[in-house]
Amino acid sequence: MLTSKGKYGIKAMVHLAGLRIGETAQIAEIAQRNTIPKKFLDAILLDLRKAGLLRSKKGPGGGYALAQPAGSITLGAVIRALEGPIAPIDCASQSAFRPCEDCDDIEACVVRSAMREVRDAMAAVVDETTIADLAARAAAYRPEIDFAI
């Protein structure tokens, strides 16, 4: 399940995708334009920077920008950086697999089997959708905003 942290992180990434090359946005501006609590956004952007998805610049004219082109950052990368694995339960995860304590036969577990299908379906969508795709959707819904995609 996507938490507020993940949702706000996606919104911030789409906001940053609208910047021109070399331009940065300050946290207060991102927070205000996207209705995100500033203090919470501070932590989110730090996590995204640590994951290599954002770069920051200090001083006058400083702020945040995407670390790579929006077309090369997947929604899945953002979600994993903020929320962890995509799988709905640990035993269905590819990157953070952990068997359930109450499971006697992991290969025969019907819950795990179904949750792996859920994980695969979700991953297929989020790993094929880029921040540029989301910015294009935002531009279609809000033509008054100039998204530099």
Evaluate if pTM is beyond 0.75: yes
Q: What residues does 57 pair with on adjacent strands?
A: 63
Which domains, ranges and CATH numbers included, belong to the chain?
Answer: 1-73+130-149 (1.10.10.10), 86-129 (no CATH)
pLDDT band at 149; cut points 50, 70, 90: very low
**Is the predicted pLDDT of residue 146 greater than 70, yes or no?**
no
Q: Please state, as a whole number, how many other Cβ atoms lie within 10 Å of the Cβ of residue 123.
A: 18
- Burial of residue 36, with CB atoms counted within 10 A of its CB: 0-12 exposed, 13-18 middle, 19 or more buried: buried
Q: Which helix (H) or strand (E) holds 55?
A: strand 54-57
Provide mean pLDDT across the span 13-42: 94
What digits encode the pLDDT tens for the residues 48-81?
999 999 999 888 878 999 999 999 999 999 999 9
